[in-house]
């Protein structure tokens, strides 16, 4: 089984990235051949500073490795180190129905939030489809909000198979990938209660310094419920975040304190900060170890690019022959 997932280098990684994508990705290393890419091509839709893009891409590699990715069990590489993916995206775009992509929820949501209506933003799902199909991926872990993109990928794969698959022994060029919905993605709210996102400015970064993390946690938006009154843990960003990093006993204790009343949100925020700082302590230590080995990240990315290109070349030879380019 081949597993594929990607993460954008649009800035420092936050705890939403960790619980939504990185922790599940680390766990999946044991289930099959895992390929994880740093999506710098995708980041071009939002990042306009070339130096920042280079630095962010390297930082994602560093942080992912610090958070448990094992390069002996998983392949980590930069998107742009496999340029064949943009060739496949163009081939897919030649058969992609406009109506399918005009219905993309993500595109509409980004426009509603003020992003420029660029061709790249509109065709984002085509590049994502190429990311998935070019490695013959079987499983793609995604949040519920990305499920539509996997459905689009499958639609494009079927379209290509029906149009050009006659020359293939089994009548198809591409496998049909399956989504694996990561429920945790929906349970990582930002400091304003919306889904945590760098673009929304509501993030708590994994590797920010102690002062900055404390500041972000203490700025979590809460309601005006008095200290003495009972509070609803189900609707609390503080409680939801605490539930990701605390033990069952600690979670039960905080829930009881919420329902009982007598504890203010400020005290709950302090407890949340302490648990977050403690939870990520081993990863901060591992990060420092990696930084002390000057060649480690470059070696990991070079080996990852080599493996990714081997797989991509196999698929592209098949695609080029099927559509008449070879």
Q: Do residues 89 and 127 lie in contact, with contact meaning Cβ atoms separated by under 8 Å?
A: yes
Query: At 29, is the secondary structure helix, strand, or coil?
Result: coil
Q: Do residues 100 and 152 lie in contact, with contact meaning Cβ atoms separated by under 8 Å?
A: yes
> Locate tokens 């958070």: which residue?
67
- CA 108, CA 162: separation in Å to the nearest integer? 29
Give the strand pairing for 178-181 and 2-7: unpaired
110 is a catalytic site residue: yes
Sign of the torsion formed by the C-alpha atoms of 99, 104, 107 and 109: positive
**Catalytic hit among 159, 195, 240, 270:** 195
Angle CA 126–131–136, to nearest 5: 120
195 is a catalytic site residue: yes
**Catalytic hit among 198, 231, 269, 275:** 198
**Catalytic hit among 110, 231, 269, 275:** 110
270 is a catalytic site residue: no
Phi, psi at 181, each rounded to 5°: -75, 125
Which residues are tagged catalytic?
A: 110, 195, 198
């Amino acid at each position: 089984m081949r597993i594929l997932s990607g993460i954008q280098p649009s800035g420092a990684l936050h705890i939403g990235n960790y619980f939504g994508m990185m922790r599940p990705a680390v766990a999946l290393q044991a289930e099959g051949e895992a390929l994880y890419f740093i999506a710098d091509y995708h980041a071009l839709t939002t990042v306009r500073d070339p130096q920042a893009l280079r630095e962010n891409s390297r930082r994602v590699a560093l942080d992912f490795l610090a958070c448990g990715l094992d390069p002996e069990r998983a392949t980590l590489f930069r998107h742009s180190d496999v340029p064949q993916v943009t060739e496949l995206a163009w081939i897919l775009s030649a058969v992609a129905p406009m109506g399918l992509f005009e219905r993309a929820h993500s595109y509409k949501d980004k426009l509603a939030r003020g992003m420029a209506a660029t061709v790249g933003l509109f065709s984002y799902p085509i590049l994502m489809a190429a990311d998935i199909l070019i490695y013959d991926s079987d499983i793609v872990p995604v949040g519920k909000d990305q499920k539509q993109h996997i459905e689009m990928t499958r639609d494009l794969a079927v379209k290509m198979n029906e149009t050009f698959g006659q020359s293939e022994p089994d009548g198809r060029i591409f496998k049909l990938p399956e989504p694996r919905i990561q429920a945790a993605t929906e349970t990582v709210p930002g400091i304003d209660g919306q889904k945590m996102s760098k673009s929304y400015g509501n993030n708590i970064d994994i590797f920010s310094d102690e002062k900055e993390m404390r500041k972000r946690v203490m700025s979590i938006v809460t309601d005006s419920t008095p200290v003495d009154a009972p509070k609803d843990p189900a609707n609390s960003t503080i409680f939801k975040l605490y539930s990701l990093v605390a033990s069952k006993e600690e979670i039960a204790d905080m829930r009881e304190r919420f329902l009982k009343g007598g504890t203010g949100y400020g005290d709950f925020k302090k407890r949340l900060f302490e648990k977050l700082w403690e939870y990520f302590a081993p990863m901060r230590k591992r990060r420092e170890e990696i930084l002390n080995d000057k060649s480690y990240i470059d070696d990991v990315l070079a080996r990852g690019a080599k493996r990714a290109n081997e797989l991509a070349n196999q698929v592209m030879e098949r695609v080029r022959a099927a559509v008449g380019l070879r």
